[in-house]
Chains A and B, each alone.
Chain A
Amino acid sequence: MATTVNISPQDVASAANFLEAFLSDSNPAGDFSSGTALRDLTIGALAAVFAFVRADATQIRQMQSLKTVQEATGGDPEALRDAVVAILSNFFITPKAGAKSRGTALGHASQLTDIFIQPTHQFTRSPGLVFVVDSSQTYFIPQNDLIPIVDSTGAVLEYQFRIPLVAVATGAAHDIDPGLFSEFDRFNPFVTRVENPTKFSGGKGPETVNEILARAPTAISVRNLINTRSITATLDDNFPELRGLFVAGFGDPEMQRDRLDLGKPFLAVHVGGMVDIYLLLDLVETSFTGVVGGLFARPDGVINMFRDPSSNFANVQVGDVIRITGGLPRLPGEFLVVENQGMELVIDPRVPFTAATDELDPSGTVSYTIGRIGPTYNDVLAATGGVPLSTGVTSRQVAHVGRVTLPGGPVMDILDVAIVDPANDESSFKSPVDGFEHFPNQVNGTPSDAATAMAGLQYATVIHNPLEAQSARQWMEVVVGTDARPTRFDGRSLRVRYRTLAGYDAVYGFVADRLQRTVAAHQLPRGHNPVSLAISLSYRLSPTAPSQLDNAVIARKVVDFISAFDTSATPIDVSAIGQLVRNSFPTISAVLPFDVTYSLLAPTGERITYRSSDLVVVDPKKQTAGPLLNLASFGVTDRTVRYIANLSDVTAQQVS
């Protein structure tokens, strides 16, 4: 909107006075005072024009400054926005267009069928609230992934499947509450309805003036990923969905990834050259299905597995050296064995192999010897005469019994772990609802084989590279093999549903791009260390309350509060949660005292549980279960944790 220039009689009088002084100085003989004809001709005719020009010039000056632009636009919000955008565009800062809401919908099908959803298929919640599948290509759901819903007689009522959806437009209005989609394009004739069981999130409107101004100090910076200001500015500009970030670099207590351990527990140096970028992105549900005990590539790409189907590694010990003389670039090379797993050797990941010969086309082999005595290192394993064996294989593929490796990327909370094709002898553990074998209990250490169907099966998570946890390089395994039967589930398909960061891959790809990355540093975008909250609220209704409250609505209010809480400034206070509920639901007369139980998914993959009746903080004094870890040595501080909640862990109930 255009701004207007207003002039008052005082402005005209002031202009006339100026002109009078100016003309009197220029022509001292002329009388330009009030009432004269000369004044009428030379001042009266021009004073208004001159007053306008002066006011316009003043306004232009105001419009050029962020400090005065608000005054110049006279309270017109649209004019103010245009003016601020115009000023900041001089510094290549443009307002963010907003972010699209995302969530997972639940589809219902009357028959078992493969599902194909085109990116153009629309799901309409209500007029104006339209979503499409969150995929750039045809989204395929194999019929094996459809969950049968059975009744008490075992008859299948319907099949359910999950669809990641994204809004077609930006704006918080698309953060829809749970409910049924009023219509959707017929992507499959057997699909009867689509609903969203949980609230969508992440929708955000165009950046407001205040948000632009708040961002301006950091936005005006070098567009390189070299310091906190520039990293914030660059990523903010390129990823509107980014809600915040924290950068840990050299000297920060959270920067532990650059630590070089020198063999002794307390002998380590920080060598620098690393930058961790903790991203605050919305959570999105995803899932991965893998074969238990199968081969998985290490997500961090480190090639440190060594195999030789023709040899026996029985005599190889930790500390031995594999000397490779052929089959790899830059040879000979010597590699330190750090683990002997029987059929394969693990070498020090800090000095990995330079290529994975099993990924070559055709696959190749290496020539090698193993020994302890240099320079030949052939005293432990070699061909006759100490010459190299020629059947070695280098690999980044690992296979661990009882485990699957999740794809690289943040894992903020695990929603469900299930064998989708359970063996017949596991029938007592099958869910009567979907026929899967679920693992509801996460434990630290090896899952117990003694877990009953009533108590629920156990699973554990292991992160092999804790200093790169919650990143694209995270190597996390989900362990379901039990202590007594490690191979109990091997060969079965394990599906893991979990929440990750929406849009993380795009940020990682951007930062790792050769054109963007800082050449002298290893920058790693990652998620915060997740802390999941569990809350059980009990409340009393006022005697005058006209009706009962919906407990699910109360729980959702609490979940939204926790998810949006900025703990970088102050920690969550248990009393604030109670106050929130009382304020939001005035008919509640009292919220009974309660504790918050929360658990940190440590960078090691272990879960550490805490309980608090006041501040919700990761404090050893509040720890109730889990290993006693030196979290600081993994870079875990208040600045690198993120508190999250989901509806399955937050409940509310009315008491009398």
Chain B
Amino acid sequence: MALGHPEEDLAIHPRDDDDEVLSPRRGRTALVTALAVGVVLVVLIAVLAMSEPSSSRLADSPLLGRRAPAIEGTSLLSGERFDLRDERGRWVVVNFFATWCEPCRAEHPDLVRFAAAHEAADDARVVSVVFSDQPDDVERFFAQRGGDWAVIDDTTGIVPAWGVTGVPESYLVDPGGVVVAKIIGGITAEGLEDLLERAQGGPQGPGS
């Protein structure tokens, strides 16, 4: 903003009796305070300018690099007990889903393909955990769309233990039982293979 010459301006209009002329500078308190506040605000502005929108700051999970939380329960499809700890020695894709969730339906064929591709070698499995849904609907969902892996209904707090915020969400657990990746949103079979390959090549390589 351009600042004019105020002293000149004063001549245009008679001042109010009440209005003050500039007095000689008294100390530097205002200047110093203003500068200090200014510095703080500049830092604040810099922080605000660098902040990304909250929606793109989806948390990478604190679970990464840690032992996978327990998944234990009876599969809704086969009626067999499942315990994630017994899956050590192979990769596990833990998929959180619900039948009412559109992207979950969209990703399901890819999960089926991924599971089928690894069935022979048995080097990777899929386990699904139901998120806020009815068991009947889930059984129907799998009957219609295929897939015969363990499907666990969450009655013991699996969802909060994994830090799941919504569906679909998937995690990759390595053969040592450590969580190595979290995928928010729908997955594709190719994406999973890719991830698996990278995880195998990386420092988190297979334990067996």
Answer whether A and B are interacting partners: no
Tell me the A residues contacting B by CB distance below 8 Å: none
